[in-house]
Structure 1
């Protein structure tokens, strides 16, 4: 077999993800789709984050796909502080050192890798996270390289964030829909906003934009984004190529085997279980955990609750021992078969695809929202930071497949057990919840249509592949 760095080919793709779980996950899924077209893909990040992406991927095994090549960029040691669940702003500021280290140290070895790849292909297509923007500048040094910005947030949230950053333009050309009140207050730290601004200045060399979304779901906002007057950026045709996650799950767990929670789900009635998870970058205080636990108990609904501390900057370090949260006295002993607490990494795709799962209490990260839509599971929304408040708005107010539990306008208040109980009951047992489940099933069908022959996402992926293979 020829060395992937020397084999002569027509086109190769280089993926440069942002070093956080939700971003790594999306571009690794995208790598699978592109590699299935016979195009070699080079996945480029640190050894830690390459391992993190591979360990946690669900629905397929990246190790059995021979034309996905993982490149470990050197990354010197950086601070790995624990998350602070008591911080007023819930954004994972403890990850900022890993973000800064990647931007500071990746550029030079990335440039060297690009120099080694460019002589081997007619064209190199660099797909980089839109908050990991230095690859766009590096591509300009090579006549056969071109960069594409990958947007890992919903088009809806990307539109709102850009509107805010641009000072809410009122250009009649945009033909804006009626917009609810919105603000970035509380979504990010000032330090991360400065980080975003420094990266956005390097996006002028991009050749196009890719969105992990479906036109039948967010087409209006994909089109609006292409019209925004972003300084220095040419308006180019966007490609909506999502959802990138697998939409069919075999349920066998691959080489890791089947998780215990799936065995438990097998014994529950159809659509009877609420799945509770706040993703990899959100932390709750002990008081919030207590109120959530009591609310789940009071709701008298079956549930699987993933209760684990937020990721640190390096999940593989031996000293990175996650905090073991304490639940109310005898809480787990009193579940009596109607509930289960999972304290390790949970197989979310398989849980959402299971016939016993009927709802999802979620932080509304975009991966979680897409996966819920992919398997027809309605949401109870509990946004924490970043794009999540906008995603929650999309789910509840626009797509009508969710109920709010945490009111973003009252985010400084603890969500009490009574509010949890009411939100869970609304979703799981009321007529309102049944309507949302019906709507979620409709969206599941829309997504499957989008990936069927002639569907919007499949056509956009075909168009992108044809464009980079020209």
Structure 2
């Protein structure tokens, strides 16, 4: 956590960077709103804030949840305590990539310059092993998901993923499976078993893969 970097100023040639595991879209949409309110700028900038910060052709969706309504009070207090140590921060690392979230990464850079904070930032992920090289045949075997995506129309597939720190209950998985099946949309669903107890398995409804075959 941020409090562990207090001593960094006493270490020669050392810098501390903030690692942000949330998406650049989430951070930029909530962070910009929160900072504008704190600086009493929202009254004057209002709906023009996003236009000033976002590259041409991009915008934040309307009716996004506010920062305050998205977290419990205890987390808000924790977040405020973390902010006390931002003076030690030399830049930011974001767990994303410009190919996915380029406009929102740019928003964060512009906003940090606006507040005269360090402009240093890097997008360092996600780094996924999605292709394997077959030396015998001297070619690259694409992952099955990518081969399937290559055949789909642009913007026609839903990606469903709650990350590696969330594990759904059997009932939640069942309800989500039903919703995806009834939607009739094509989808890729990442089901995490990271938090399951040893020996437990994710329970996909019986016959589900057959019913949604091709989608």
TM value normalised by structure 1: 0.32
> Counterpart of 1:306?
190
Residue pair 1:155, 1:222 contacting (<8 A) in 2 also: no
Distance 1:154 1:263, change over 3 A: closer
| Alignment match of 2:91 (pick from 208, 222, 238) | 208
How big is the shift at 1:310? 5.6
Query: For residues 61-460 of structure 1, what are the structure 2 equivalents within 5 Å?
Result: 132-162=1-31, 163-164=33-34, 167-171=37-41, 176-177=49-50, 180-181=62-63, 182-185=65-68, 187-211=70-94, 212=96, 214=98, 216-218=102-104, 219-228=106-115, 235-242=116-123, 244-246=125-127, 249-251=130-132, 262=143, 270-271=151-152, 276-300=160-184, 304-309=188-193, 311=195, 320-321=197-198, 323-328=200-205, 330-332=206-208, 335=210, 338=213
Residue pair 1:308, 1:323 contacting (<8 A) in 2 also: no
SS in 1 for 2:181: helix
1:340-381 residue CA offsets vs partner (Å, 9 max, x unmatched): xxxxxxxxxxxxxxxxxxxxxxxxxxxxxxxxxxxxxxxxxx
> Counterpart of 1:31?
none
How big is the shift at 1:155? 4.1
Distance 1:183 1:227, change over 3 A: same
Distance 1:236 1:269 in 2: 41
Q: Identify unmatched segments of 5+ residues in structure 2.
A: 52-59, 135-142
Distance 1:269 1:141 in 2: 52
Between 1 and 2, higher relative CO (CA 8 Å, sep ≥ 6) is seen in: 2
Residue pair 1:281, 1:310 contacting (<8 A) in 2 also: yes
Q: Identify unmatched segments of 5+ residues in structure 1.
A: 1-131, 229-234, 254-261, 313-319, 340-427, 429-470
SS in 1 for 2:15: strand
How big is the shift at 1:139? 0.7
SS in 1 for 2:110: helix
Residue pair 1:147, 1:207 contacting (<8 A) in 2 also: yes
Residue pair 1:308, 1:324 contacting (<8 A) in 2 also: no
How big is the shift at 1:335? 0.7
Distance 1:205 1:264 in 2: 42
Distance 1:242 1:223 in 2: 15
Distance 2:45 2:149 in 1: 52
Distance 1:290 1:196, change over 3 A: same
1:44-67 residue CA offsets vs partner (Å, 9 max, x unmatched): xxxxxxxxxxxxxxxxxxxxxxxx
How big is the shift at 1:192? 2.6
Distance 2:81 2:35 in 1: 13
SS in 2 for 1:208: strand
Residue pair 1:301, 1:338 contacting (<8 A) in 2 also: no
1:69-120 residue CA offsets vs partner (Å, 9 max, x unmatched): xxxxxxxxxxxxxxxxxxxxxxxxxxxxxxxxxxxxxxxxxxxxxxxxxxxx
How big is the shift at 1:338? 1.4
> Counterpart of 2:138?
none
How big is the shift at 1:193? 2.5
